A and B are shown apart, each in its own frame.
Chain A
Amino acid sequence: MSDTTLAAPKRRRLNLHVLGPVLALVALIILGASLNSNFLGYGNVTNVLARSAFIGIIAVGMTFVITAGGIDLSVGSMAAFVAGVMIMAMNSMIPTLGVGVPLILAGMAVALLAGLAAGLLNGFLISKIGIEAFIVTLGSMGIYRSLVTWLADGGTLSLDFEARGFYRPVYYEGILGVAWPIIVFAIVAILGELAMRHTPFGRHCAAIGANEQVAKYSAVKVDRVRMGTYVLLGMLVGLATIMYVPRLGSASGSTGVLWELEAIAAVIIGGTVLKGGFGRVWGTVVGVLILSLIDNILNLASIVSPYLNGAIQGVIVILAVILQRDRKSAD
């Protein structure tokens, strides 16, 4: 009976909720541009976007995991581990393959496979063995972090100098002045958005996150879809690592620290519901950009200390969740 009365105001609120992250992003861009004239320059824009790409690619995968009611805390450690494995594999293949395109492709394949395997392991433990996602990925977070530290013997794993020189352009160059990481991030984001909104996989993720029982009773292969989200995320971690390794050419125990939290924060800022059931990839992209811009603006303008970056990001995340809650109480 109260249906009719709720329908109209709810819509208006929903729009505000949709627009919220976008408005925040626009406000940040205006703020940045007014504080520093170089802010909108080619160099800074490329820098911000390329640095966003790693977290961004991972966060797109995280959106699916969270939408399906899961969480993955292991992605930062996983990225470090995959980077370490990739570097070691490439170094060991140089005598046979030499430095060239085949070596790079082989390294990329190793990274994707390592990511896939890591995601498969998480997904298997969560969906087939039935352990809580938080517990499983908390565990694997420690395992991967420790493994990469061990592989590096507490120091740094470095890619062979010559190979590094050959691989560098994958981070620093691109087509038509757009860097490769930005291109890859854009493609991942577009495909992710399409998958979320227009494919049965995306619909099934949301259904599982909203109510697993209903999904099960509606002939959705809950285990398989859930596993799929973790595998997808693992492969995207592999892809992000492929873009990351040429930047520094090394990996250590401190690679990718706190990436998981940044990725989760970006997903939440973007309007995906933390307990699952609703997710949007474009929102995640906006979330990633908001986080990067805050960092960038603090570095460019000297009003607030860059050391307060984390505090500001934290406030933004909490604000985003408060907005989400408002929407809930409206429906």
Chain B
Amino acid sequence: MTPILSAQKIIRRFGPIQVLHGVDFDLVPGQVHALIGENGAGKSTMMKILGGYLAPSGGDLLLDGAPVQFTDQKQAEAAGILMIHQEFNLALQLTVEENIFLGREKKRGLFLDHKGMQDEAKVLLERLNCHVDPRTRIRDLSVPNRQMVEIARALGRNARVLIMDEPTAVLTNRETDILLEQIDRLRAHGTAILYTSHKLDEIRRIADRVTVLRDGQHVLTRDAAGFTEDAMATAMVGRELSDLFPSKPVPQEEIVLSVGNLTVPGRVRDASFTLRRGEVLGFAGLVGAGRTELMEGIVGLRPATGTVQVMGKALKPGSVLAAREAGLVYLTEDRKDKGLLLGKNLTENLTLLALDRFGRVRIDKQAEDAALTTAIREFDIRVNDRAMTAGSLSGGNQQKLLLAKTMLAEPQIVIIDEPTRGIDIGTKQQIYDFIAALAARGKSIIVVSSELPEVIGLASRVIVMGRGHIAGELSGAAITEDAILRLAMGVAADDAAERETA
């Protein structure tokens, strides 16, 4: 079939740096074409060129076989090419309907045709099997529903080509399933879809064709059938990936953290668990199960009742500083909004959590600088310029910086929420190694993750949460995807308990 949108020998330079070296790419109606590669491989640039956000420095774009140049994204949109960003392009304070029709509102005379827009919005959302009221404000919607609204918005604009930039990075498995179903449906309607994700199993499930980029080079394009995850990873990284997960450390006897009947009003009920020295404890569950809220309650970021004991001493509630001083730190899942000051330089970010170590009255800038040097070396942060802002680091390097910042507080217990969200497989492996190395050094780590392989691969014990309470605990060989999912969804609990004792 002839492609709707076709890229030929696309080159892109930023100043003297060439980030795309002649990439060919076709988008065919009714086909899902996956674009994969490590962070910095040039995926985003390629997508932006196809979506009209960036102009290529060389090469041609063909729309329905005819050469085309988009001067901006609006022209691409007019041609039916829509891009769904990782950071949603939705106005939080506006309603679903207002967002779907933003910039192309229906009018009746001088006034807006609210009824007509609401009805049409409803139809669009129904097509996606998404049952939100078009009058809801976006800020009141869950992340997956926001994603659906984004897609509905694209459909409302008669998208022929849909470019999806890591749509599942913020979704749980179940939500991902729903999204993939919708993508199937769109494919059946003849939409051409460009799909990117770091989750290779999704690529296997959804893609018809796969293109691999590495360092801006077009490595290969082939049919997805028969392309194994292993082969994809090898093509992306350019070398064989040894086992992704390091061997699991053996916990010691000493209990370093003990949480008793912790309740975060409206979010978590009566959660109790313990953590041993040198242990990697996994926390699994669906989004909304209360894992993040529980952790935030423990470290004092949210009001909570119950007891938290660190090394046998009760922790002062409601104080992040007291938790840090007791040796307990929390690394947020939301590195862009809660983890790093994107507009500040690396040093200021690195030392913010442990600033009092650099002088209570006068900050010792030399020591700060030395700390940055150490952090860059120890955590392998790829830095172009030491004076750059945290926001201009790639996602994986931001995560490493955040990890370095957290470790600078010299904690005994580290809670890491979604340690590898939105980062490439090479960096993931590095982060897994850091976690294992920390545990081997006698630190205790809690890993909260929506990626089951991650929890299974890292943790020697897994606590599963469901609907705000601890649904069960698995350890050793009983930690399987199946057992975790059953506990998380509250089905066949006895079956899971059986496995646990096995």
Contacts and interface: CB of A to CB of B under 8 A. Distances in A.
Most buried by A among B19, B40, B332, B363: B363
A55 to B, nearest CB: 28
B130 interface: no
A2 interface: yes
B373 to A, nearest CB: 18
Contacts of B360: 200
Contact of A199 (B45, B339, B363, B385): B363
Interface string B351-371: 011011001111101000000
B110 interface: no
A204 B384 CA distance: 26
B17 A1 contact: yes
Interface string B325-341: 00000101000011111
Nearest to B331: A217
Most buried by B among A6, A219, A331: A219
Given A198-B363, A210-B341, A210-B343, A218 B15 contact: no
Contacts of B301: 216-217
A3 B388 contact: yes
Interface string A17-53: 0000000000000000000000000000000000000
B184 interface: no
A215 interface: yes
A251 B316 CA distance: 49
A203 interface: yes
Interface string A168-210: 0000000000000000000000000010001110011011001
A257 B392 CA distance: 44
B363 A5 contact: no
A1 B42 contact: yes
Interface string B439-480: 000000000000000000000000000000000000000000
A5 B14 contact: yes
A207 B352 contact: yes
Nearest to A277: B343
B86 to A, nearest CB: 16
Contacts of A198: 362-363, 365
Interface string A209-240: 01101111111110000000000000000000
Interface string B388-409: 1100111000000000010001
A7 B387 contact: yes
Interface string A275-319: 001100000000000000000000000000000000000000000
Contacts of B389: 331
Contacts of A277: 341, 343-344
Contacts of A13: none
A203 B388 contact: no
A214 B340 contact: yes
B495 to A, nearest CB: 38
Contacts of B45: 1
Majority DSSP secondary structure for residues of B touching A: loop
Contacts of B352: 203, 207, 214-215, 218, 220
A152 B333 CA distance: 57
B324 interface: yes
A1 B40 contact: yes
A331 B343 contact: yes
Given A3-B388, A5-B17, A219 B348 contact: no
Contacts of B266: none
Contacts of B353: 218-219
A4 B355 contact: no
B321 interface: yes
A214 B394 CA distance: 18
Contacts of B320: 216-219
Contacts of A7: 384-385, 387-388
A7 B346 CA distance: 13
Given A7-B387, A200-B360, A203-B348, A217 B17 contact: no
A325 interface: no
A11 interface: yes
A143 to B, nearest CB: 31
B16 interface: yes
B332 A6 contact: no
Given A1-B14, A219-B324, A213 B363 contact: no
Nearest to A221: B321
Contacts of A4: 14-15, 17, 384-385
A295 B128 CA distance: 64
Contacts of A221: 321
B15 A5 contact: yes
A203 B341 contact: no
B19 A200 contact: no
Given A7-B385, A198-B363, A331-B343, 7 more contacts: A3-B392, A3-B393, A203-B348, A206-B344, A215-B352, A216-B301, A277-B344
Question: Which 9 pairs from chain A and chain B are nearest by CB?
Answer: A5-B15, A219-B320, A5-B14, A2-B14, A7-B385, A218-B352, A218-B353, A219-B321, A210-B341
